[in-house]
Amino acid sequence: MIARQAIVNVDKDVIGYELFNRSRAPAEHTAATDVILLFTAMTHAGREDLVGTKLLFVNSTHESLAGGHLELLNPEKVVLEVEPLGHVAATEAVARLPILRGLRERGFKLSFNHTVLESAYATWLPLADFIKLDLTVLRPEQLAVLVNYAARHSKAQLIATKVETPQQFDLLKSIGVSLFQGYWFSRPAVVETKLLAPNQASIIQLINLLRRQASTDEIEEVLKKDAGLAFNLMRLINSAGFGTAREITSFRQAVMIMGLKKLFRWAALLLTASKYGNTSASIGHTAVIRGRLMELLALEFMSEEEAEQAFVVGIFSLLDAMLSIPMQDALQLINIPTAVRDALLKHEGIFGELLQLAEACESSDDLAFDHSASVLQLTSQQINWAHLQALAWCDQITQ
C-alpha cells in the first residue's frame, strides 16, 4: 500500500509530499519495493493534487539509489530520502559517497535523518538538502543543539517529523525550524496506485528490440499491441515527473522523445513491477484489437496522424474496466487531446463514431453497425476486412 504525507512550511503551505510503502516494515523495505515507489512517483507526478509544482520525497534504499531506473525521473521534482548505514557507517559512508555525489550532480535533492550530523557521516553532510529531525527519538534538549550544529555546518533545510502537538510546533519554530511533518498537520493518505500490468512476454520482446537497437517502427508496433505498455508509456511521457515541454499524443513521438536508453530502463522497471497488476488479459486483448480496427478504418478517410488518435481512443476505451474505476477517473491519469477525451467519455465526434462502430463489431449489433457505417460512409466489406486485419495483427504477438 502506497501512502503519502504532506511536508509543510511554517505557515502551513505544502512544499512537498513524502511517498512511502505503508504496508511494509522498515526491515522489509527492499530495492524491489523502491522500484514500485519510484514507478508510482513517475506516474502520479503530473497530478496537481499529489505533486504539481511540489517536491516529492521518496523513501530509498542504497541499492535502489544505484539503479538505472532513476534516469526516468525529472530530478527537479524528486527528493531522495537516504537511509542511514547503522553500525557500518564508519566504514561504508565514504564508499557510498560517489553514488550520492552523482545523484546530486544529476539534479536530485537528497534528504537524510538527523544521524547525518554524526562524525561518521561528515562526507555526506555537504550533500544534504534536507535533514529530518524525528521527535519520537530526539529529546527536546537535543533539538536546539542539533539545529544549531546543522546551521553552522550545512546548508540543509531542517524538517521536524512526527509533530503531533501545538507545543512541539511552537518549540521547534522558536529554535529556527521552518518545515514540519506529522499528525498535527496531516495524516498519511493512501495513494491509489492504478498500474496496468503489461504482458510480460510483451515487455521482454520490447527489451530485446531495444537491446539490438531496432527501428522505431518495430518498437512502436510492440507498444501498440499491448494496452498495458501503451497506457503506462503515455502516462509517463506526459507526466511532470518526466518533464516534457509539450503534450505527446502518439506512440511514435513518445519513442523518439524518450530514446532507446530510457525506454530500456522503463521496460526493465515495468518487468519488475508487472507482477503487481491484476488486469484480465482478455480485456487488454480486446482493447488492442479495437484500437487497430479503428486505426485501419480511420486510414480510409484520415491522415496517418489522425488515424493514430483513433488507435489511442480504441486502446484506451476499456481503461475503466482495466483499472476498475469510472472512465472519468481513469482519464485523469493520462493527458490526451480533447477529441480523444470526448470520444471516450461521450462517444462524440468522428472518433466517437468509430468507437461505436468497433463496439458494434464486437457485439454483433446490426442496427448500431449500420448506423455508424452510414455516418462514416464505410462499406461492410471495408469494415469486415479491417476487422480481420486487426485480429490477425493482434495475434502476431503471441506467435
**pLDDT given for residue 98 in this prediction:** 92
The per-residue pLDDT for 23 is 53
Beta bridge partners, 259, equal none
pLDDT at 109: 95
The CATH H-level superfamily of 2-190 is EAL domain (3.20.20.450)
Residues 219, 231: Cα–Cα separation, whole Å: 15
Q: Which residues of the chain have pLDDT under 50?
A: 25-32, 45-51, 275-278, 397-399
Question: How far apart are alpha carbons 237 and 372 in whole angstroms?
Answer: 33
Domain at 200-398, CATH class? mainly alpha
- Per-residue pLDDT at 197: 62
**Nine-digit cell string for 333:** 491519469
Report in angstroms the alpha-carbon separations of 230 from 72, 121, 206, 287, 319. Answer: 17, 44, 12, 11, 11
- pLDDT tens column, 32-89: 455 555 555 555 544 444 445 688 888 888 877 876 667 767 788 789 999 999 888 8
C-alpha radius of gyration, the chain, whole number: 25
Cell matching residue 64: 535502489
Helix/strand/coil for 239: coil
How confident is the model at residue 28, as a pLDDT? 45
Q: Where are the domains of the chain?
A: 2-190, 200-398
Q: What nine digits make up the cell of 261?
A: 536508453
| Residue whose C-alpha is closest to residue 40's, from 247, 190, 191, 145 | 191
Identify the pLDDT of residue 397: 47
